[in-house]
Amino acid sequence: MTANEKKKPEKRAAKKTPKWKLIETVVTAIEGAEPGAAVAPSAKIPSRTTSGETRQIDVHVATKAGRRLITMGIEVKNEKAPLDIEIVEQVAASSRMSPSIYAG
């Protein structure tokens, strides 16, 4: 390359945010709009079945209802078709392993 030739800057492909992450962000924003709600995306919560281990939940929400603290876990799924029953059952089983989410 000669001194008169300028090197063209390389075009970098913009990192595209995965659709599931966008949905997780929207759910976090919606839940966070509730006054007094504490919302944590990609939260680590204690496992109910394995001592000392944690589980990842897409969005964890804690809010007061009267004198009670209500917590919920939201699992974000981005599917083109409705989820089949096996996937729904897997998500339900996962929530049973998290004491701060499930008290049944």
The pLDDT value recorded for residue 4 is: 61
pLDDT at 13: 64
Helical H runs in 1-104?
19-32, 85-96
Which domain covers residue 71, as residue numbers?
36-96
In a domain, 31, yes or no: no
pLDDT along the chain (104 residues), means of 10: 63 77 87 87 80 83 88 80 83 66 49
- Domain annotation covers residue 40: yes
Which residues, in sequence order, are CB contacts of 45 under 8 Å at separation 6+? 54, 55, 57, 60, 73, 98, 100, 101
- The domain tally of the chain equals 1
pLDDT at 104: 44
- What is the predicted pLDDT for the residue at 70? 86
